[in-house]
Amino acid sequence: MGKPLIYEILEKPASSSVIGICSLIWWLIQKRGIGYADVGLSYEAAVDGGQYWRIITSAFSHISVVHLVFNISALWSLGVVEQLGQIGLGVEYYLHYTLVLVVLSGLLVLGFYHMMIQRFKVEYFRRVTAVGYSCVVFGWMTILAAKQPSSKLNIFGVLSLPISFAPFESLIFTSIMVPQASFIGHLSGIIVGYSIAWGLIHGMNNYWAITMLGWIALVFVLSLKRTGSMELSFIEIEPVTDPSLPSVGVVAPRNGRTLQMDVLPGRRVADIV
């Protein structure tokens, strides 16, 4: 018999906490009827609209329960990183670089969208909206593949993949089986993962992690305030946008629960990340 669940949770505290956060956010999304457009990451909302807070909300939000379960299963298996302190990984490493993966993979997704829109004139990518923790999951697959290639990745307790091939196997598999899965989002996680594993991104410690977390919180709150997505009476920001342009924000509906968006006309496409 395996270990009792409580012992496994104690051995993977960071992974267990992230799983709990993603599950709670999914429950709130279902309860309040929130959709992709309300929490997802799109070029139009984040870059054109200045809603940088979406880099964070999109990472921890899942609309589909199948999407949530897949990411939770992979994340639980990848929690072995927390137990590999002897090879330079461990809980602190996991927390530090999870923060890096969330932010940099989101920024890289926007960078790819920018290239497709500005360089190749593909306007489709302006409104593609991505949600999900898969960027980070693919990043950790890649790091573990580079650091501990003999490991296995267990999905749903029935599918076991050699970790050395898991990032690209999973990338191809999800692209075929789930057409709406974000190839760009998953690829961004892999790129950032290799950058960390190969030492191109390094030097994270508690000081830099706390500093980075502080800046993330500041930008998150200020972008919420500036875009009118949340009323924060103790923060005053001078408007710099043209009032004649459409805005994005929260409109108080009759039941006081549903988020509404006033955006440029056009069909928004959802991507599962």
10-residue mean pLDDT profile of the chain (273 residues): values are: 83 97 97 93 97 97 91 93 94 98 98 98 95 96 94 75 85 80 94 98 97 98 86 50 46 38 49 74
Q: Is residue 163 part of a domain?
A: yes
CA dihedral (49, 53, 59, 64) positive or negative: negative
- pLDDT at position 249 is 42
Q: Is residue 80 part of a domain?
A: yes
DSSP 34-82: --HHHH-B-HIIIIIS--TTHHHHHHH--SSHHHHHHHHHHHHHHGGGG
Q: Is residue 188 part of a domain?
A: yes
Domain count, the chain: 1
Q: Is residue 45 part of a domain?
A: yes
Vertex 6: Cα angle to 90 and 141 (nearest 5): 40
- pLDDT at position 158 is 66
Q: Three-class SS of residue 225?
A: helix
How many whole angstroms separate alpha carbon 82 and alpha carbon 91? 4
Q: Is residue 250 part of a domain?
A: no
Q: Three-class SS of residue 21?
A: helix
Domain containing 71: what range? 38-235
Active site amino acids:
134, 186
Q: Is residue 10 part of a domain?
A: no
**Tokens matching residue 83:** 């137990």
Q: Is residue 129 part of a domain?
A: yes
Q: Is residue 124 part of a domain?
A: yes
CA dihedral (170, 14, 154, 157) positive or negative: negative
Pairing of strands 269-272, 152-155: unpaired
Q: What is the DSSP letter of 118?
A: I
Rg (CA), the chain: 19
